[in-house]
Structure 1
């Protein structure tokens, strides 16, 4: 079962509306495939040159993939989490950097859509994203906080209905290329670091001064450069809802589900290359397999586990999307945090098994069976918001959660 097949049946229309619903889903699949084909053509060059995947992202704009989460009434397509996950999985099979950029963009759009409804400025931004296919960047990592997204140093200082923010953003993925940024900040200069707000800024609202580069093993095309971010704008650009709700209800679930889908897509591409390699060897050797062939079965098994975890957690999230108590529960928060750890580890495990099955053909940087790029890209998965940080945060929560009394509880 793929991610799209996991679409919750209770959310699907019936009767005459069903045909239009199915057509819209199929159209989104076709448009995503068009972008993926372009991304695949440029993936090696993007990795080799550490360049932004300009051709793929231009295609994403042309195919109108960037505004799909915006509600219909605001010019978008009202897409579901399942739709975006499938998009990220498909793009991940083609180009990891393209997939991760699209995933991060949609995490930010999801926050604006869920928590900005009913606010004129935010709804205007949703219309702009859908109409102009604006690419939204993310700034949640600051200074030396090591990816601790639940603490901010720089305050959003508000006076006379306007805010001003100066932030040492140690990482802003595709920051030089995006059309807007969604950033965390302290609520005020005298607020605690954990008392945060989410601020939405368009390109005309901020300046970026580069502070460090991006010379890394993988995900090189995300161009996650460090910047000094200075922004000013209307106080209406600060999301009114408490950041804790934004973080637990939307940011973390969307991030872990879409990132996981991108990583799993990268792993799936490695498995596909291994399958092609083994078939070629078997044909040339009268059916005899190479020494590492047994690792192919392990790769397929770990890939299947990752896909199943993503599908199950997406269904669960869709099922409780309107239930704030369920979303905030220790049980759900532990599960969605654990998903990030499990899927990232499984993605690495899958590509490593593919490499061992391919042997030297996979280890080479050149050739049709190389999985070098895939391995370097997917090694970012346990480090992007470090798994050890996630696990440490889960430990205390798990002590508070009750043990399930039955298998189906």
Structure 2
């Protein structure tokens, strides 16, 4: 299966995307407090994403999109993260699904038509990769695709489907057929008219409340073309993991940046009130800045690696690439938590309060989701197993 490259915008388009993202971020920031307080879907921000035509930005030009690069998408996630964490995460998950479809699903009339519709109609695609007791183990499925003549069906109990009730479609994973092993998986895509959702659980969480990631029983029926022919293992390694880790990390860095902004404002205000003397929390502000800079640097390195690999399946499957892109999520999530925590300590009681210009409470609650979505311990344990037979480098240049 040929991997379709993620093309990059020219400078003019990149500037335009930045301006359009700023419009959406302003809307998202205006409603972020209500989204968090009420645990509701950020409908205003998503409407703005559609009106600014950012949901289909990465769809290839030949299929009606703008061909935005992964780097451009990361910048958008960062900008949204500074405004509303839930909006940023929704955008990151949507674009990850779009990337899977455009890189591994093209060449079929129905799927090409769907990709065109995502750009033309600004369809919002949800992700459903976890189910049952498997939790975050996305490389194992219980539910299987059932084939009945000219149609396929799927019924799965999903632990979470982020913004499932609000999405226009869902991209999900399942066993290839009833006889397949749990690890023999395929990616499926269904539109809203193809499935029903039965709510199994709610979404009453500390943060990321606007993602509305309830559990659902998904019952879907569609055409055989709605099951991608590509092996899910290839989709996962070549696209889903690198794109999701880069975009999630960018959203988390944006959340951290919003907290550092408030810590900087508080520290400057405190210094002015004390005749230029730094407040006791200034040390923590410096630590917050350092953690954020480290996170941003790691994201840039991840982008460089992914762009250098391009559509080279061997390069994307290489252990060094997989290790780096896997650990990107782990390291940035930890650094983002550290940055926000340091920002709160810099602001003291003003940061701990839920009200006021220097409050960091919402950012802290949102960012605490980062290490457990998918759990860092699971990721590191899997990576340790994968690297056991790899020799340790004998020199710095090896």
TM surpasses 0.5: yes
Aligned residues: 392
Change (3 A) 1:77 1:404: farther
Deviations 1:92-135 (A, max 9, x none): 00000000000000000000000012111111110000000000
Q: Is the contact made by 2:189 and 2:227 (CA closer than 8 Å) also made in structure 1?
A: yes
* Equivalent residue, structure 2, for 1:168: 157
Taking structure 1 as the reference length, the TM-score comes to 0.94
State the 1:291 CA deviation: 1.3
Q: Distance in 1 between matches of 2:254 and 2:396?
A: 30
* Equivalent residue, structure 2, for 1:261: 250
Q: Distance in 2 between matches of 1:161 and 1:325?
A: 35
Q: Is the contact made by 2:135 and 2:159 (CA closer than 8 Å) also made in structure 1?
A: no
Q: Distance in 2 between matches of 1:407 and 1:250?
A: 29
Q: Distance in 2 between matches of 1:280 and 1:169?
A: 48
Q: Does residue 1:239 correspond to 2:234, yes or no?
A: no
State the 1:22 CA deviation: 1.5
Q: Does residue 1:288 correspond to 2:277, yes or no?
A: yes
Instruction: Work out which of the residue numbers 106, 110, 126 in structure 1 matches 2:95.
Output: 106
* Equivalent residue, structure 1, for 2:59: 70
| Partner secondary structure for residue 163 of structure 2 | coil
* Equivalent residue, structure 1, for 2:261: 272
Instruction: Work out which of the residue numbers 126, 136, 157 in structure 2 matches 1:137.
Output: 126
State the 1:408 CA deviation: 4.3
* Equivalent residue, structure 2, for 1:88: 77
* Equivalent residue, structure 1, for 2:39: 50
- Pick which of 83-92 and 155-164 moved more: 155-164
Deviations 1:123-165 (A, max 9, x none): 1110000000000000001011111100111101112131110
* Equivalent residue, structure 1, for 2:300: 311
Tell me the C-alpha RMSD between the 2 structures: 1.1
Q: Distance in 2 between matches of 1:277 and 1:309?
A: 27
State the 1:398 CA deviation: 2.0
Instruction: Work out which of the residue numbers 351, 372, 376 in structure 2 matches 1:387.
Output: 376
Q: Is the contact made by 2:154 and 2:221 (CA closer than 8 Å) also made in structure 1?
A: yes
* Equivalent residue, structure 2, for 1:7: none
Instruction: Work out which of the residue numbers 229, 251, 255 in structure 1 matches 2:218.
Output: 229
| Partner secondary structure for residue 177 of structure 2 | coil
What is the correspondence of 1:178-257 to structure 2 with a 5 Å cutoff? 178-257=167-246
What are structure 2's unaligned runs of at least 5 residues?
1-6
* Equivalent residue, structure 1, for 2:111: 122
Task: Please identify runs of 4+ aligned residues in structure 1 that moved more than 6 A.
Answer: none
Q: Is the contact made by 1:334 and 1:397 (CA closer than 8 Å) also made in structure 2?
A: no
| Partner secondary structure for residue 228 of structure 1 | strand
* Equivalent residue, structure 2, for 1:3: none
* Equivalent residue, structure 1, for 2:50: 61
Q: Distance in 2 between matches of 1:163 and 1:36?
A: 39
Taking structure 2 as the reference length, the TM-score comes to 0.97
Q: Distance in 1 between matches of 2:56 and 2:250?
A: 19
Q: Is the contact made by 1:70 and 1:77 (CA closer than 8 Å) also made in structure 2?
A: yes
Instruction: Work out which of the residue numbers 10, 13, 16 in structure 2 matches 1:27.
Output: 16
Q: Is the contact made by 2:82 and 2:256 (CA closer than 8 Å) also made in structure 1?
A: yes
Q: Is the contact made by 1:331 and 1:401 (CA closer than 8 Å) also made in structure 2?
A: no
| Partner secondary structure for residue 49 of structure 2 | helix
State the 1:401 CA deviation: 2.7
| Partner secondary structure for residue 93 of structure 1 | helix
| Partner secondary structure for residue 159 of structure 2 | strand
Instruction: Work out which of the residue numbers 279, 293, 317 in structure 2 matches 1:328.
Output: 317
* Equivalent residue, structure 1, for 2:332: 343
* Equivalent residue, structure 2, for 1:4: none
Q: Distance in 2 between matches of 1:76 and 1:275?
A: 39
* Equivalent residue, structure 2, for 1:148: 137
Deviations 1:59-88 (A, max 9, x none): 000000000111001000111110110000
| Partner secondary structure for residue 331 of structure 2 | helix
State the 1:400 CA deviation: 2.6
